[in-house]
A and B are shown apart, each in its own frame.
Chain A
Amino acid sequence: AQSVTQPDIHITVSEGASLELRCNYSYGATPYLFWYVQSPGQGLQLLLKYFSGDTLVQGIKGFEAEFKRSQSSFNLRKPSVHWSDAAEYFCAVGAFQGGSEKLVFGKGTKLTVNP
């Protein structure tokens, strides 16, 4: 069955520091991978997605993610974090084989940004 693991429940970084959030997935077919962000009281906002092609994908708000098939990973990065990036981040895999449309989510990583 498809699954997503986000090993870090909570990460704290200083404003201006670089950020990497880890995501590992398990899926038998070609994965469709997503990162969503949820600010308090807000919905899940799509940051970026990978379907195929270039393994380094750019998203909104200066985020990027790299797909590494050999490591079954899709880590999210940002070179310089802003205080407004404090939120919860969810990695998801599209379990789209056989006509399914569901997303399978990780448990999320909560990001705290110190001034």
Chain B
Amino acid sequence: EPEVTQTPSHQVTQMGQEVILRCVPISNHLYFYWYRQILGQKVEFLVSFYNNEISEKSEIFDDQFSVERPDGSNFTLKIRSTKLEDSAMYFCASGGLAYEQYFGPGTRLTVT
């Protein structure tokens, strides 16, 4: 069964550094998403991406964040200058339809 994959599974970075989290969505899906879950808190929506552009973003998704689909298979989330409060589990999701979202295993980001 096709699945969403994410790399790395765990990323440790220093405050102020740039990180890129990578996702390979399910191959025929058209809708792509990033969510995050700070330890002990809810899973929160960050951004949705369709037709090579952002279709919606939350207030969390400020100028420090960007997304890209650099080729036909990858979908990346970049945090330009990480802060301690960016430490969280980041989930990528994809969907063939806008109302169905299939999640990857997540990348645990630790900012020190």
Contacts and interface: CB of A to CB of B under 8 A. Distances in A.
A41 B104 CA distance: 11
Q: Is the interface of A mostly helix, strand, loop or mixed?
A: strand
Contact of B42 (A99, A100, A107): A107
Given A46-B100, A51-B99, A103 B45 contact: yes
Contacts of B55: 99, 101
A89 interface: no
Q: How large is the interface on A (under 10, 10 to 19, 20 to 34, 35 or more residues)?
A: 20 to 34
Contacts of B41: 107
Sort chain B's interface into a size bin. Answer: 20 to 34
B103 A45 contact: yes
B104 to A, nearest CB: 5
Contacts of B102: 46
A43 interface: yes
Nearest to A100: B56
B103 A102 contact: no
